[in-house]
Amino acid sequence: MTSLQIPSGRPLGVAVIGYAFMGKAHSHAWRTVANHFEVPDFIQKVLVGRDADAVAAAATKYGWDEWATDWREVIARDDIDIVDICAPGWLHAEIATAALAAGKHVLVEKPLANTMEEAEVMVEAAQAARTHGVRSMLGFTYRRVPALAFARQLIADGKLGTIRQVRASYLQDWLADAEAPMTWRLRKDQAGSGALGDIASHAIDQVQFLLGEKVTDVSGRLHTFVTQRPGPDGPETVTVDDAAWATLSMASGAVASVDVSRVALGQKNALKIEVYGTTGSITFDLENPNELFFLDGTEPVEIQGFRRILVTEPGHPYMDAWWPQGHVIGWEHGFTHQVRDFLLDISNGTDPSPSFEDGQRVQRILGAIEASSAAGSVTVPVSG
């Protein structure tokens, strides 16, 4: 392990590994963050991908100085200080541990890893690096949606009283067509799991993030509706789930229900969250990301009702850096907020959130849901 030494006045050098969906989203964040927030100086040094022609074209399009095909060579460079990993989950552990050992700050897209064993290795690497001032963060980007950050603030301020019940659903339909082709996301050896790891991880993280507490036990069920899909060499067996359901018990006694699907026809990217307390309730839908609905249960019942809060005021989380009141922002802005927070943590010497340990805990919950499903939806405790 080497401690990160940045010469006085030199901008931080950034490398992003992966140039597809998440690589594009993260590149946009690096390209725009300094336009709106006061952050340490940095340079978009290099974009990394396996296909030379494709990554070269993406680097030019996304504003990177250089491109490369070998991530190992990139993390060995003295001018690279931050490694942002947008590669598929099966590569997270190898790249992250190597980058941390090389003294690079590391941002990793969720989920943390494909297996608990890999997650454990990554946490150990992050803890060792932390003692040398090297920071790490996991990319649960929806924590940085202003409306959800504001919802957490309302709950922490006691506006909902004692939380009793949470409902979190994350529904998509990109696999609703049974003839949709096979991808790496449908192979367990590459993806780790299906809807469970991909989108239930977001829903579960939100439950814990909003309430500020941990899941203690779960019961769950996984299901694969389309068991075979067209592959490059003919029909191929799908080895992950299409949908998942779970009931989560919280340390406080609150109960959360989670359901996720990639085959919910008509739902495009619908993360919907409802939180019900003794004195108030909130609801949120990611397809309307600037809106939060709040019910004040302390008002007379005759005038109670959910009121729409447009989360665009300068006093709302992150919003003072953007546009005048009422001018909405979009899905991609959460990634910009994430990069902003990560850069400030590096500059201030503070530990980013969510940490790899937070990701490991979500991984334990996902594993418990999988174990519960395999055992017939029995209740399974969550360790740690």
- Domain boundaries defined on the chain: 12-142, 146-288+290-329+362-374
Q: What is the pLDDT of residue 384?
A: 73
* Average pLDDT along the chain, 384 residues, taken 10 residues at a time: 52 97 98 97 97 98 98 98 96 97 97 93 98 97 98 98 98 97 94 95 98 97 98 95 98 97 98 98 98 98 97 98 97 98 97 98 96 96 87
Distances, alpha carbon 288 to alpha carbons 117, 131, 253, in Å: 37, 41, 30
Residue found by looking up tokens 């067209």 in the block = 230
What are the strands of the beta sheet with 105-109, ordered from one edge?
Answer: 66-68, 42-48, 12-17, 82-85, 105-109, 136-139
**In 3-state terms, what secondary structure has residue 101?**
helix
* pLDDT number for residue 1: 44
Phi, psi of 367 (to 5 degrees): -65, -40
Cis peptide before 111 (omega within 30 of 0): yes
Contact 224, 180 (CB under 8 A): no
Q: What is the pLDDT of residues 219-276, one digit of tens each?
A: 999 999 999 999 999 999 999 999 999 999 999 999 999 999 999 999 999 999 999 9
How far is Cα 96 from Cα 139, in angstroms, rounded to an integer? 13
pLDDT confidence of residue 3: 40
- For domain 12-142, the CATH class is alpha beta
The contacts of residue 114 (CB under 8 Å, 6+ apart) are 89, 90, 92, 190, 191, 192, 193, 197
Entry pTM = 0.95
With beta carbons less than 8 A apart as the criterion, state whether 345 and 351 touch. yes
For tokens 């922490």, the residue is 156
Neighbours of 323 (CB within 10 A): 11
Q: What is the pLDDT of residues 260-271, one digit of tens each?
A: 999 999 999 999
What per-residue confidence (pLDDT) applies to 4?
44
Q: Which CATH number fits domain 146-288+290-329+362-374: 1.10.1240.10, 3.30.360.10, 3.40.50.2300, 3.40.50.410?
A: 3.30.360.10
